[in-house]
Amino acid sequence: MILTGAQIVWEMLHREGVEVVFGIPGGAIMHTYHPLSEYGIRHVLVRHEQGAAHAADGYARASGKVGVAIATSGPGATNLVTGIATAMMDSSPIVCITGQVASSLIGTDAFQETDITGITLPITKHNYLVTDVDDLASVIHEAFYLACHGRPGPVLIDLPKDVQQAETEFVPPTEEVRLPGHAYIGVSDPTDAIARAAELIDSCERPVILAGHGVSMAEAETALRQFAERIDSPVAVTLLGKGGFPASHPLYLGMMGMHGDAQANRAIQEADLLIALGMRFDDRVTGDLSRYAPHARKIHVDLDAAELNKLISVDVAVHADLQRALLDLLPLVDKRDRKEWHEVVSEWWEESRAVDVINQHDEDAKLTMPHVIDAIRRSTHGEAIVVTDVGQHQMWAAQYYRFDRPNAFITSGGLGTMGFGLPAALGAQIARPDAEVWAMVGDGGLQMTVQELATVVQEQLPIKIALCDNGYLGMVRQWQEMFYDKNYESTRLVNPDFVKLAEAYGIRAWRAGDHDQAASAIDQARAHRGPALIDFQVVKEGEGGNVYPMVPAGAALHEMIRRPYPTKVGER
């Protein structure tokens, strides 16, 4: 079968099981677009290539499959960069295909030429510049393999125009990929390390399990639950670990870190053993490293050897697939009942609940974003897929929407990319057409990729958008309020009328400024079959406008700032 490079692209995507791609055509990729209709693959036309990469990322995280983004050369390719870096930091499997100027023009500063393989070298797991059409099929096969095997990540394929045009006999690549170096990742035998881990677990009194994104990536949710129940240890989760352990489970301890739950941070600081599973001790998770978990020995299980002993040296490093490691550990550890430790922890829980803003039953209470998220959670019975942007609303979504299932909370954790929310939600909705998808975004971040509202309408996606409208770049404003003498330098936003804006795109929209309006708007938005946006006008500053708890920069986890009202409970 003689095919052009362009046809090979679609033939291979089809063989890799791709049903949908996100992209924008342009000069250097047009040739690839031309035969698209022959292959039955859905193309979602985004409005900016950053949206294509985020949508592919959201699609990947919601489906567990590889997401695909396509862009032209030059500016099309560079517009993908933020999305690629986002996927890299959060280990999300995406494949990006970019057009490139013809091989003969590479290196001549041709129109729309850019060295995208050079630019994306540090933010991809691997990338390719295909110079021979005969390599194309196997490169695509390898790219999909790499994106989702081992620690997942983004892979980019740069495709010169002449390679797209060239014809060759199509030979399907063999199933097995020839990657001599890749075979060495994950070969160390963890048996000894697991035995030592079991000893530490059996001899500890105050363990805390730290469950990261690796839990859901390794599909180790069940193994984790069995393990936690057997050793009777509380489980704290990272931002991306949400859903890896059910929030409704009695051993659930909440989120750790800068805006983590107070009881989780306190437990970590008091623990005598940390069992870190598929997480990487990010600075937002540890606070001041030198005073992190000072009484604890540490066990760290990760698939990526480079993460072990990277930031903190651990007592036992287990380089292994997480599910396998947990299943191996399970028969080696004693069944325990840690009543005393749970009593201490539940006291901390009580204190947290007492100062929680959503437990203040004040009839006149102003609308805050925690109230909004709690209302959405109750209305959706905690079963929606929540996709967030970055900032205050993101932390509140993590704190107040309780996740019992994996892959239901999609957020830019590592890179913290504002503008991620809307396009990622779009990708998630396409991956899970029957799920209720809520995009929770801020008024700052939404406007970074707001043009994707048009894509939502064009694709008729019934996304519900909860806009946290506080007229500021809220998280920066919070820091300015707390640490920069309330000098709100360059954070106040003069916003458009978001209801009119949404309506201009053809999206039903409501405005809500109090609790009743919020509840009613949520009901109406959910009842509406198409896309909907609610402009929640929430408290702008002060107690109701700030995210608590907060571990200030340079502080240790136990030094978090707690919500100060109504009662002075647990200052430290």
Interface positions with another protein (CB under 8 A): 117-118, 121-122, 125-126, 129, 146, 178-185, 304-306, 308-310, 313
Cβ–Cβ under 8 Å, residues 216 and 244? yes
Exactly one of 30, 112, 458, 540 is catalytic; name it: 112
How far apart are CB 2 and another protein at their closest, in Å? 27
How far apart are CB 138 and another protein at their closest, in Å? 14
Q: How far apart, in whole angstroms, are the C-alpha atoms of residue 238 and residue 221?
A: 14
Q: How far apart, in whole angstroms, are the C-alpha atoms of residue 200 and residue 431?
A: 42
**Residue 49 annotated among the catalytic residues of the structure:** yes
162 or 304: whose CB is closer to another protein? 304
How far apart are CB 182 and another protein at their closest, in Å? 6
Q: What distances in angstroms separate CA 47 from CA 41, 139, 166, 452, one per listed residue?
A: 19, 28, 29, 6
Exactly one of 1, 38, 111, 383 is catalytic; name it: 111
Residue 252 has phi, psi (to 5 degrees) of -65, 135
Cβ–Cβ under 8 Å, residues 456 and 463? yes
Q: What distances in angstroms separate CA 212 from CA 31, 164, 257, 281, 303, one per listed residue?
A: 42, 41, 12, 9, 12
Q: How far apart, in whole angstroms, are the C-alpha atoms of residue 547 and residue 144?
A: 39
100 or 269: whose CB is closer to another protein? 100
How far apart are CB 418 and another protein at their closest, in Å? 23
Exactly one of 89, 369, 475, 550 is catalytic; name it: 475
Exactly one of 22, 50, 89, 161 is catalytic; name it: 161
How far apart are CB 189 and another protein at their closest, in Å? 16
**Residue 112 annotated among the catalytic residues of the structure:** yes
221 or 302: whose CB is closer to another protein? 302
- Angle (deg, nearest 10), helices 5-15 and 133-148: 30
121 or 171: whose CB is closer to another protein? 121
How far apart are CB 280 and another protein at their closest, in Å? 13
The answer to whether the peptide bond before residue 35 is cis (omega within 30 degrees of 0) is no
311 or 561: whose CB is closer to another protein? 311
How far apart are CB 329 and another protein at their closest, in Å? 23
180 or 433: whose CB is closer to another protein? 180
Burial 219-248 (b: 16+ CB within 10 A, else e): ebbebbbebbebbbbbbbbbbbbbbbbbbe
For the chain, the straight-line distance linking the first and the last C-alpha, in angstroms and rounded, comes to 70
**Residue 482 annotated among the catalytic residues of the structure:** no
Kindly report the CA angle at 93 between 89 and 98, in degrees rounded to 5? 95
The answer to whether the peptide bond before residue 75 is cis (omega within 30 degrees of 0) is no
Exactly one of 11, 12, 22, 49 is catalytic; name it: 49
185 or 476: whose CB is closer to another protein? 185
Partners of 469 in the beta sheet?
537
Q: Would you list the DSSP string of 50-101?
A: HHHHHHHHHHHHHHSS-EEEEE-STHHHHHHHHHHHHHHHTT--EEEEEEE-
Residue at token pair 């795109």: 505
Q: Any idea which residues carry the catalytic annotation?
A: 49, 111-112, 161, 475
